Structure 1
Amino acid sequence: MTVRILVVDDEADVADLFRQNFRREIRAGRYRFDFAFSATEALDVLRHGVPPDILLVLSDINMPGMSGVDLLAAIRAEWPKVAVCMITAYGDAATETQVRTLGAEAFLTKPVDFEKLRRQVAEALGDGA
């Protein structure tokens, strides 16, 4: 089974970074990545995806418009079983406490350590991927 992962970040080069760092998993059919460049776009993907089978969201926190924290709260309200990992360039303890309280499975800082992220993804998915 291929696990769909939605990456949410307002920086366009993020898609290439994820495709490059997860190329083995993508080629093997283990993961399929979808990308949204705003929290609003991410909600549209989750609401209108056919089928809506995203199991993990990796979201930046600081984005124009709706923040990643607001996105996390919306995901928890509508899709409580979807795992969410937050990624930020500004990793302070208060923000980490806030997103963990809202139910984030992980809190990672930029620049992304893709080996650590790979472990976090496996853990968030219950190693079932």
Structure 2
Amino acid sequence: MNVLILVVDDEPDVTELFRQQFRRELRAGRFEMAFAHSAAEALARVEASTGPSLILMFSDINMPGMTGLELLPLVRAARPDVPVIMITAYGDAETRDKVLAGGAVGLITKPIDFALLRAEIDRRLDSIAGPL
């Protein structure tokens, strides 16, 4: 099964950072990553039913136009099966509460701990594959 992880961030260097951090997994075909540079682009991607199966979405909170917090309920309505983890530079309790109340499964603060992200991705992949 081809699986997809969607990363939403308005900063173009985030795309290269994720590709660099997950280059081995991407090269090995464990999963694919798609990148959206706006909430509107992400929503269009989430609503499209073609291509690999979307299993996880990471989204920045602070973006111009529609914010990640505004995107969150739209993604949850369109694809309630897809877990969303929000990413922010501001990991205060109020932000965490808003994110979790909005339906996200977690909040990761910047600078991003890629070991934590890798563990989350592995958990999702394991749950799809089931026990060996």
- TM-score (ref. length: structure 1): 0.91
Match of 2:126 in 1: 127
What per-residue deviation string (whole Å, max 9, x for no partner) do you get for residues 25-58 of structure 1? 1111111000000000101112235237311110
What amino acid does structure 2 have at the position aligned with 1:117? L
Q: How many residues align?
A: 128
Match of 2:24 in 1: 24
Unaligned runs of 5+ in 1: none
Q: Which has the higher helix share?
A: 2
> Following superposition, which runs of at least 4 residues in structure 1 exceed 4 angstroms of deviation?
none
Q: Secondary structure at the match of 2:66?
A: coil
Percent sequence identity is 53
Match of 1:46 in 2: 46
What per-residue deviation string (whole Å, max 9, x for no partner) do you get for residues 99-128 of structure 1? 1122211210011010011112233x2633
Say yes or no: does 1:93 pair with 2:93: yes
Unaligned runs of 5+ in 2: none
What per-residue deviation string (whole Å, max 9, x for no partner) do you get for residues 9-38 of structure 1? 000011111111011111111110000000
Q: Map 1:1-129; keep pairs closer than 5 Å.
A: 1-51=1-51, 53-123=53-123, 125=124, 127-128=126-127
- TM-score (ref. length: structure 2): 0.89
- The RMSD of aligned alpha carbons is 1.6
